[in-house]
Amino acid sequence: MAPAVSPLEFGRDVARQSLHDDIVGMSAELAYRFFLALFPFFIFLAALGGFVATQFEVENPAEQAVRLIGDALPEEGAAFVEEQLRNIIDNQSRGQLFGGALLAIIFATGGTNAVIKALNRAYGVKEKRAFWRRYLVGLVLTVSAGAGSVLAFMLFVPFRILAPALADALGVETLRGPMVNVLAVAASIVIVFGAVTLLFRLGPNIRLPIRAVVPGAALFGVGWLVATFLFGIYVSEFGDYASTYGILANVVIVMIWFYVLAFVLLASAEVNVALHERRDPRDMAARRQEAEDGDESTLDSVRQATRRLADPDEDEQGSGAGPT
């Protein structure tokens, strides 16, 4: 069992490792990648949401996603993003959306692969998976994010119906609006927690148990809301980006917001690493070594299987040696 450690000492460990892994610089790269992937991802989301809306006769979940992003962003950046995303949804035919969805997935997967690269650095492992395997993982995570987003925004409809009914049952009709917001925030935290758990579990080139990724996912589930709230206050009360960046102010605000989210994400991964190394340093070292040797072992197995196919008698000669 690992010795007890004070929160201050643990914080120093996380900060020291974060500086070593340069999460400040990696967050800047991810912010750029997120911005490039945002609109292609919404092309894919709009296509998927339109299909779901048609099949189930509900409002397009992509519309709800636009509103949620508008609520999450500071006011100055929300109008810019909402306008662009609504243009994507409203000004393209369904055929064009589905036609562009494939290309959009490719671009959005590039953003996911950038996250995988950053997580590998945080976990102290090198990317040794084959290109196709790494890209497949990124593709699965990207498509899962799109499907999860559609499902999440479809679930907001029952929440909006449930909250007023709950308020009436409790005799607090005046709290209808706040209860809708509370349920929506709670649902957002749960959905984000599940998505980040999946990302931390499958993304980096290291096999970690679920218990080793849950703390960081929970931290991010709450941290991104707190960080967005504080950033919104800063922008509305103290930030004056228009005087510095002019017409690019809204773009800069969105980029900084992405930077904050990327920093919280990578810091959460660093917390996972520090906790697991404190809890079981031998297991962490063994898993890192397994990640280093994984592809070599797989390659050896493929070579042996190829030799057996080429020369079926090789196994018999090898195994039949020796006196009887």
Read off the tokens for 301.
Answer: 């197995």
Tens digits of residue pLDDT in 48-79: 666 666 666 656 656 666 665 655 566 666 67
Residue 127 backbone zone (phi > 0: left; psi -120 to 50: alpha; other: beta): beta
Tokens 């090898």, located at residue? 318
DSSP secondary structure code for residue 93 in this structure: -
Q: pLDDT-based confidence at 268, cuts 50/70/90?
A: very high
User: What percent of the chain clears pLDDT 70, i.e. is strictly above it?
Assistant: 58
Q: pLDDT-based confidence at 278, cuts 50/70/90?
A: confident
Q: How far apart are CA 268 and CA 213, in angstroms?
A: 9
Q: How far apart are CA 287 and CA 289, in angstroms?
A: 5
Distance of CA 61 to the CA centre of its chain: 19
Single out the residue of 318, 265, 307 nearest to residue 115, CA to CA. Answer: 265
Residues 6+ apart with CB under 8 A from 78: 69, 70, 71, 72
Single out the residue of 22, 205, 199 nearest to residue 127, CA to CA. Answer: 205
Q: Are 40 and 111 in contact (CB under 8 A)?
A: no
Q: How far apart are CA 296 and CA 47, in angstroms?
A: 40
Tens digits of residue pLDDT in 9-55: 888 889 999 999 999 999 998 888 888 777 777 777 666 666 666 66
More confident residue, 94 or 296: 94
More confident residue, 174 or 245: 245
CA distances to 54, 167, 183 from 163, rounded to whole Å, are: 26, 6, 7
Single out the residue of 200, 232, 179, 211 nearest to residue 72, CA to CA. Answer: 232
Among 10-19, 156-165, 251-260, name the one with the lowest average pLDDT. Answer: 156-165
pLDDT for the residue 23: 92
Q: How far apart are CA 207 and CA 138, in angstroms?
A: 16
> Is pLDDT above 60 for 301?
no
Single out the residue of 107, 91, 137, 86 nearest to residue 44, CA to CA. Answer: 107
What value does the mean pLDDT take over residues 147-159? Answer: 60
Q: pLDDT-based confidence at 309, cuts 50/70/90?
A: very low
Q: pLDDT-based confidence at 249, cuts 50/70/90?
A: confident
pLDDT for the residue 302: 41
Helices (H) and strands (E) in the chain, counts: 12, 0
Residue 22 backbone zone (phi > 0: left; psi -120 to 50: alpha; other: beta): left
Tell me, yes or no, if the pTM score tops 0.85.
no
Q: How far apart are CA 123 and CA 127, in angstroms?
A: 11
More confident residue, 133 or 74: 133
